[in-house]
Amino acid sequence: MRPVYVLNGPNLSRLGTREPDVYGAEDFSDLAALCRETGRELGLSVDVRQTDDEAEMVAWLHEAADGRVPVVLNPAAFTHYSYALRDAIAQRTAPLVEVHITNPATREEFRHTSVVAAVATGTIAGFGLRSYVLALHAIAESAQ
Whichever domain contains 70, its CATH number is 3.40.50.9100
Read off the pLDDT band of 22 (50, 70, 90). Answer: low
Numbered residues of the known binding site for substrate: 74, 80, 87, 101-102, 111
Q: What is the mean pLDDT of residues 117-122?
A: 95
Numbered residues of the known binding site: 74, 80, 87, 101-102, 111
Mean predicted lDDT score pLDDT of the chain: 91
Task: Answer whether residue 108 shows pLDDT above 70.
Answer: no
Residues above pLDDT 70, as percent of the chain: 88
Backbone angles phi, psi at 129, to 5 degrees: -65, -20
Active site residues: 23, 100
Q: What is the mean pLDDT of residues 39-43?
A: 98
Counting the structural domains of the chain, the total is 1
- Residues spanned by the domain of 114: 2-142
